[in-house]
Amino acid sequence: MIRRREKYTPTTLTCANLSLNRADYTLSVPGQEPMRLGAKEYQMMELLMETPGHVISGDLFLDRVWPEGEADVNTVWVLSFQSP
């Protein structure tokens, strides 16, 4: 019997000068201290960094970040346009 290897997921996801550490939910930029993200912030950043250069629809955000339906498209708009 041959066992299939599960899909490899690197611990660190990098896009441009951003690094997202999947082990401790931190986002890093060179020259600055890493920032720990909340669960939803992490999920949103991971989705964006996994698909660089692509537009992510509100529906996809809802399906991936709020799969249980506990949010609506207005939540995505507010979180997407919130200033730091």
Helices of type H across 1-84: 39-50, 58-65, 73-81
Question: Can you give the pLDDT at residue 74?
Answer: 66
What tokens does 7 get? 């899909």
Question: Can you give the pLDDT at residue 3?
Answer: 63
Question: Can you give the pLDDT at residue 2?
Answer: 62
Question: Can you give the pLDDT at residue 60?
Answer: 83
Contact 34, 28 (CB under 8 A): yes
Domains in the chain, start-ordered, CATH in brackets?
Answer: 12-81 (1.10.10.10)
Q: Cα(29)–Cα(8) distance, rounded to whole angstroms?
A: 24
The pTM assigned to this predicted structure is 0.72
Consecutive 10-residue runs of the chain (84 residues): their mean pLDDT?
66 93 95 93 90 83 78 59 46
Contact 76, 58 (CB under 8 A): yes
Q: Cα(25)–Cα(4) distance, rounded to whole angstroms?
A: 28
